[in-house]
Structure 1
Amino acid sequence: MILRSFVLVSALVSAAPAAVHQGNGIKIGEVAADSAVIWTRLTAAPEANWTGTAFVPPSSPGGAGPSAAEIEAATIQARDSGPAPAAPPGAKAAKKKGGGLSNAELRAFVLRADPDTQLPRGRTLAQMHGALPGAAGSVRVTLRPADGGAPIETAWTPVDPARDHTRQFTLRPLRAGVTYRVRVESRDPAGAAGAVVEGSFHTAAAPAVAAPVKFAVITCGDYPRRDDPANGHRLYESMRRAGLDFAVHTGDVEYYDKPDPWSTSAALARFKWNRIYALPFPREFHRTTPVYFTNDDHDILTNDCWPGQTHGRLTWAEGLAIWDEQVPVSPLPYRSFRHGRDVQFWVVEGRRWRSPNDAPDGPAKTILGAEQKAWLLRTLAASDATFKILVSPTPIVGPDRGSKNDNHANAGFRHEGDELRHALSAHKNLVVVNGDRHWQYFSIDPATGLREFGCGPMSDVHAGGYKPQPGDEAIQKFFRLQGGFLTVATKPAGATATLEVRHHAVDGAVTHTVTLKPDGTLEPNRPR
């Protein structure tokens, strides 16, 4: 609690009572040499309802379906991938006597149940633990160059109640390689002053400038599996101390298909965003570190999803719309950013244009879709950056579990996977960094030489799901079944540079390092 109070003081500059609040802080994103996007949300309170009522497992009217004890026992098992807390006595007895409710049976029941039965009788969503309702009002953003010069100021603009009381601004023109101070003001509909949040960011260097760049790559972090209950994921503090220029989130920001609550409605999906970004660690991190986001499956709808599916009452269209309202976005979800002479990275999206996972594999089956894939290959070929980094939500090299059929490392998408591995490996100065998998790894595709780094989940309790198999050593050169993050850093040296990719533990300790030269030569790995 002491740390939570400290973070709030550092982020909010107004100590006077505010008419409206920015309880989710700000997010700075899509930073280029000449532009940036600033996101905020107006809230009715400065903090989430941390003393609110806990959610309960869903139920059926009239007691139809599984018993409460069976549902509770199965919910405990579904809650996280780490050690589960002990089930209550009634749940243990039911599981032992009746064989228990399988994960598939539980999820089928959840999808049929009324989402609101997860609220205890007589309670509203605003009264639940972690709730942070939105509020009407307007916001204004001011950017001031730290080295002097004229500020850039937006007009006062209302937040959008249909978009969870959020608003985001694209600000341009900015100057390359300059630190900007950010000030986000708020006011209520009557004009009374609200909370002010201040932050900062550094624009990308111009393409001709040999500037060092350092960024982090993260994935998979939901509220129940945070490792500091009061403040959030400790990894944010480790990254904040790492001297980053920016970070990339590869998706699974939240898990709609996990309990507490199961987000089978748009209201419950938004609830999870509001709750996790009310925590102090992510709020403080986002205030001064730009983050580029791409979605995966759990933060759009459900595990391994594809277009047209639903998750209870949550539709595919709602899932996409909620994503676009909750993070800084560009007109297209696939895009590329240049940071100086030595770094260009590409962010791809793997859900909106994909074929159904269960469709037969072949030339027509795709994850990226024809337009995105053509854009990727065309812009990679056109780039003269010293190093090229492809940010993928899911693996391209792997290896992965044999039961999976959702990514380019799986048999179900082998045709496009082979196509991509051969095309990408033609760029000897390219590496893939990816999320999705709940372990850290470094792999080299034996057929093409393509290199891939999996960043791992955001906490150790979130790690799991894979055990190295015989033959993996031909592909996988580093494996660690723990949480953490990647850093990718360039070190200019005259007319050339090197690229250093490091795996870090949650506390920031370096566990593995690979250094790449522009000609594709790898320096020896240095396990820690």
Structure 2
Amino acid sequence: MADWETTQWDAVNPDRDFTKQFHIMGLRPLTEYELRVEGRAFDGVSASSVLNGNFKTAPLSEELTRVVFVATTGQAYPNQDAEGGGFRMYSAILDLSPSFFVHTGDILYYDQWAKNIDLARWGWARMFSLPTNFAFHQKVPSYFMKDDHDTWSNDSWPTQDSRFMGDFTFSQGQSVFLEQVPMGDLTYRTFRWGKDLQIWLVENRDYRSANIDPDGPEKTIWGVDQKAWFMNSVRESNATFRVLISPTPMLGPYNEGEIDNHTNIEGFFHEGEEIREFLSSQDNMLVISGDRHYQYVIEDSLTGIREYATGPSTDAHARGWNASDIRPEHRYLNIVGGFLSATAERLEGRPTLTLRHHDVDGLILNEDIHVAE
């Protein structure tokens, strides 16, 4: 135990679902760490509960190293597909030994059952007590994003007036998310993983205008501050590959009647055009999207931007598009569950980013290779 660094005992917060976040500072880059979490009664002396885990920290920005990350979306409790409970994809992801994992949102679905804050918190405990989820997050560093269903309800926004969720409010949904996942000061963030990779995780619920407002220059999903932060930090980045990870799509096509995202003509198309124009001005930049309940690769004919939809966690969750409706912009389309992996590495000395769609058991369904210009 001589090499262990130890924090002081600290009380959990009963008003925040008995949670507590610890910020561990001074870690060395590209280093394997073991982690032990101990719990005890408030007036106890020795630990009555112990959990062990491990993780590896990110490399420095000048470090040339292979980085593998995985992203998915749409995780619904009734759609479990693993024997004994949980989701098969987590075992398949572990086989890739990922550097980190990104859940792009819809981590759970409040809509039908979270009619008060206690039920919402129960939903998080239920989801992360599943054997596959529990084991996975003891081993893999993870970033969590939220979308509509794990904030409040379908296509929701902060000023929405609805009684559908009973006593559970949008602001409570925002607070519960911050209780249940590791998070810094802001829910929009960027992380550097070595010389060749930087990711941006954006916030798509907290700052948005009402979906039903007329589109125009003032209508926004990201908000003024986040949008300025994103564009400035992207311009400042010298990472070879830069990846925007968004809870909702940046590119079309979309289903009739949608007004919730940047692809929708009657939704947030004006801001979408602004962001797409900016993305197209950046070298070696692409988009990963959650939300869609199917996998795709889309290439925008006007800007050349490519977007990769991760697809949902299970096949039972896969729906929302006709498999025979293949548009000119589709480079890949598959109505299946699974996940997306991305590998940044040097092959024959050339910076390469390889994106692969996998099924729930890890089988590669599609591969797309980018070589830096």
Verify: 1:175 aligned to 2:49, yes or no. Answer: no
Equivalent runs, 1:87-486 vs 2, <5 Å: 150-191=3-44, 192-228=46-82, 230-258=84-112, 262-309=113-160, 310=162, 311-411=165-265, 412-467=267-322, 472-486=326-340
Among all aligned residue pairs of Structure 1 and Structure 2, give the percentage whose two residues are the same amino acid.
41
Structure of greater Rg: 1
Q: Deviations over 1:276-298 (max 9, x none)?
A: 11111000000010110110000
Following TM superposition, the consecutive aligned residue runs of length 4 or more in structure 1 with deviations greater than 3 angstroms are 493-496
Contact 1:212-1:489 within 8 A present in 2 as well? yes
Answer yes or no: is the 8 Å Cα contact 1:245–1:290 preserved in 2: yes
Higher helix share: 1
1:473 Cα deviation after fit: 2.6
Amino acid at match of 2:205: R
2: CA distance between counterparts of 1:249 and 1:267? 23
- Residue type of the partner of 1:446? S
Give the SS at the match of 2:71.
strand
Amino acid at match of 1:376: F
Structure 2 unaligned regions, length at least 5: none
Cα distance in 1 for residues equivalent to 2:211 and 2:270? 13
Q: Distance in 2 between matches of 1:477 and 1:402?
A: 21
In the alignment, the residues of structure 2 paired with residue 343 and residue 153 of structure 1 have an alpha-carbon distance, to the nearest angstrom, of: 32
Alpha-carbon displacement from aligned partner over 1:72-126 (angstroms, at most 9, x marks no partner): xxxxxxxxxxxxxxxxxxxxxxxxxxxxxxxxxxxxxxxxxxxxxxxxxxxxxxx
State how far apart, in whole Å, the 1-side matches of 2:217 and 2:324 are.
29
Alpha-carbon separation, structure 1, partners of 2:56 and 2:137 = 13
1:489 matches 2:340:
no
- Superposed CA deviations along residues 117-162 of structure 1, whole A, max 9, x for unmatched, are xxxxxxxxxxxxxxxxxxxxxxxxxxx9xxxx95332110111111
CA contact (8 A) 1:222 1:253 kept: yes
TM-score, normalising length from structure 1?
A: 0.68
Q: What SS does the corresponding residue of 2:49 show, helix, strand or coil?
A: coil
Query: Per-residue CA shift, 1:427-468, capped at 9, x if unaligned?
Result: 130110011010000001111111100000000000101125
Equivalent residues of 1:443, 1:475 under 8 A apart: yes
Q: Structure 2: which amino acid aligns with 1:332?
A: L
In structure 2, the residue matched to 1:510 is 364
